[in-house]
Amino acid sequence: MDDLRKRTWAEISLGALRHNYEAIRARLGEGCRFLGVVKADAYGHGAVPVSRMLQDAGADYLAVSCLDEAMELRQNGIYLPILILGHTPAEFTETLIRNDLTQAVTCLAKAEEYSHEASRLGLTLRVHIKLDTGMSRLGFLCAGSRFDEGVENVVHSCTLPALETEGVFTHFAVSDEPGEDNEAYTRAQFALFLRVIATAEERGVHFAIRHCANSGAVVHYPEMQLDMVRPGLLLYGYGDDTGTLGLQPGMRLVTRITTIKHYDALTDVSYGRRFTTEHTTRMAVLGIGYADGLPRLCSNKCSFAVAGGFAPQRGSICMDMCMADVSDIPGATVDGEVEIFGAQCSLETLSAAAQTIPYELLCAVSKRVPRVYLAK
């Protein structure tokens, strides 16, 4: 990256993402489809370039969270089927149909609204039925005492005149968390999912694509692949399981050293004076702050890779800048590159410092940060 105007940027390795796609693909049973989750701008990696790569590489389906995200893909030449996971108001039924989008249907009332709108237009909307098997978020309730009513509502939705039910899916709450209790919970969600499908199919409906495997399930529960898998985080090369699969991080967040200064011992650094030098210190000012997506919660709790060493971050992280101690790194110089996360500084370590998960930090990389695409 030679462009010195860039104070902070995110290098996206399309090669790494393609490698991850192929590595995940290699674990799938024959005929199992691959849906790439590209919501939230492909977890910050850029929805259009990532979708284009997936389309070229042979993925079968994409998923986004809302209509605007789907339209961005359609307007940029993405022709793969796209599933909208979140709610779309029924007023937009025509837009969904005209753009060949697949809508998740999460309850009978919405199914009826979509069918009503589509009938009025003389068209058919393609849908996937979303079952709530224990996530307690969107979806037809079908656990415990709600089983019969859940199946009834699903069957009713599938037989509405202007809906074409192509698929059925559910989402796991703890498939990525270890422990017997979590494993039992995931298996119970899966069993319930299959039981609702079987009961509904006995009543004459058919689901061509049954899917439930998010990243956690792709890694830990291969028997839950069914007709399609639906990984997000894994595709981008993050999480606890990427090592075992040989996946590569898709993003490297990089900034530059703006200035280097030498401070005496007992110098207070940054807002709130939350760091005081203990001895003479060579301190770099970096061109990245929380407005770029480096959480302020990481202040005084993380290190960055620079010139072959690791510089501890010092003092409160500001909106546009932060400081790092480069006393022990003679190779650190003004304009030198600093890796915030990537191959040397893991995103997982930084997320832990921010008391959050890798997902949140990827999504937090802000609009101000240019994405630079590498073919490798």
Ligand X SMILES: *Cc1c(COP(=O)(O)O)cnc(C)c1O
Which residues here bind ligand X, judged by CB under 6 A? 37, 39, 85, 171, 214-215, 230-234
- Residues 215, 220, 223, 224: is their CA dihedral positive or negative? negative
Q: Residues 326, 332: contact at Cβ < 8 Å?
A: yes
**Which residue, among 242, 291, 343, has the nearest Cα to 13 in the 3D structure?**
343
21, 39, 114, 263: the catalytic one is 39
CB atoms within 10 A of CB 49: 16
How near is the Cβ of 353 to ligand X at its closest, in Å? 21
- Residues 255, 356, 342, 171: is their CA dihedral positive or negative? negative
Phi, psi of 336 (to 5 degrees): -65, 150
How near is the Cβ of 118 to ligand X at its closest, in Å? 23
Overall residue count recorded for the chain in this entry: 376
Of 232 and 289, CB closest to ligand X: 232
How near is the Cβ of 107 to ligand X at its closest, in Å? 16
61, 114, 236, 271: the catalytic one is 271
Of 7 and 230, CB closest to ligand X: 230
Of 69 and 325, CB closest to ligand X: 69
236 part of the active site: no
**Which residue, among 287, 342, 275, has the nearest Cα to 310 in the 3D structure?**
342
Return d(Cα 186, Cα 249) in angstroms, integer: 27
Q: Residues 277, 267: contact at Cβ < 8 Å?
A: yes
How near is the Cβ of 37 to ligand X at its closest, in Å? 4
Tokens of 47: 């929805």
271 part of the active site: yes
Of 241 and 339, CB closest to ligand X: 241
Return d(Cα 339, Cα 310) in angstroms, integer: 9
Of 228 and 283, CB closest to ligand X: 228
**Which residue, among 346, 337, 267, 236, has the nearest Cα to 302 in the 3D structure?**
346
How near is the Cβ of 16 to ligand X at its closest, in Å? 16
Q: Which residues are annotated as catalytic?
A: 39, 271
